[in-house]
Amino acid sequence: HEQFVLHYQPIVRLRDRVVIGHEALLRWQHPRRGLLSPADFLDVVLDSEYESPITDWVLAQACFDASKMPAGSRRVTVNVSSVQVGRRDLPHVVGRCLNESRLDPGELVLELTEDRLLSRPDGAELLANLHSLGVYLAIDDFGTGYAGLGYLQRFPSIDVVKLDRSFVQSLGHDAISENIIRSMVELARSSGLQLVAEGVETEEQAALLAELGVPHAQGYLFGRPAPALEAPPSDSVGA
C-alpha cells in the first residue's frame, strides 16, 4: 500500500563535520499506528515472503534518493540481512538498482546486520560476488555480539566497520572503551578499513572520538533520521 518510507541519517567526517553520506532507515507510515520503526515490525518481515520484495524496494528507493543528493554526499548505506545476502539474485537486483538510478557502485554501501553469514560455508563467496559489483560492504554494530574480529578475518571483502554505539556511549565513563576505540583506529588504519562511530549524541563524545583519530561518525548530534527531502542538503551539520 506504499506505506513504507525511507529516512536518512547523515554520516559525517568528524574533523569538519562535512556530510559524506547517509544511512537509509526503513519506516512504516501506518494509517492508524503512526510512524513505526523496524523494531515494531521487522520480526514479522524477516524470514517471511515479504523480506525479499521489501529489500528490493529499499535498494531501489535508496539508490534513487541518493542519486538526487549532492555529489560528494551521495553515498548511501542500506541494511541487508544474511538471508538477503544469500539470495542468488541479489547481485542482479543491486546491479539493476545502480543502472536505473545511475548511481556509481562506489556510492552504495551494503551494511551487514546479523550473524547467519558466519554459519554459511559460502558466506565469503557471497560477499565477494557483491563486492565485485564495486559496492562497499560494511559491518554493523561492530564489537558486540556476533560482530567481532573473526568476522573481519573471515570476510576480507568488508570495507567499512561501524563501531557499536555502546563503546561511544561509555566514553568518558570507563578507560577500557577509550582503549578499545584507540585500538580500533589502529586496526582500521593498518587494514585499510573505513571506520564509523555510531550513536554519537554529545559534543564531548564527538571531541573525544576526533581526538582518538576516528575519521567518520553518525548519531543524533549530527542529525536524526529524516525523510529524504529534509536530509541536510548543505555540506555541514551540527555545531
Give the residues lining the site for ligand G (CB under 6 A). 9, 25, 37, 79, 140-141, 165, 198-201, 219-220, 225
> 109 with 137: CB under 8 angstroms?
yes
- Measured from the CB atom, the residue of 27 and 131 that comes closer to ligand G is 27
Specify the length of the chain in residues: 239
What are the helix (H) ranges across the chain? 38-45, 51-67, 82-85, 90-101, 123-131, 149-154, 165-169, 175-191, 203-212
Report how many residues bind Mn ion under the rule CB under 5 A: 3
**Shortest Å distance, C-beta 37 to Mn ion:** 12
- Reference 237, options 9, 7, 5, 70; nearest CA is 9
- Measured from the CB atom, the residue of 44 and 99 that comes closer to ligand G is 44
Choose which of 140, 195, 197, 212 interacts with Mn ion (CB under 5 A).
140
> 193 with 161: CB under 8 angstroms?
yes
Output the residue with the shortest Cβ distance to Mn ion. 140
- Reference 201, options 178, 223, 179, 185; nearest CA is 223
- Measured from the CB atom, the residue of 107 and 140 that comes closer to ligand G is 140
Q: Which three cell numbers stand for residue 179?
A: 582503549
- Measured from the CB atom, the residue of 60 and 226 that comes closer to ligand G is 226
* Subset of residues 79 to 108 that bind Mn ion, contact rule: CB under 5 A: 79
- Measured from the CB atom, the residue of 37 and 183 that comes closer to ligand G is 37
50 binds, among ligand G, Mn ion, none (CB under 5 to 8 A by kind): none
**Shortest Å distance, C-beta 23 to Mn ion:** 6
- The 3-state DSSP class for residue 122 equals coil
Q: Which residues bind to Mn ion, rule: CB under 5 A?
A: 79, 111, 140
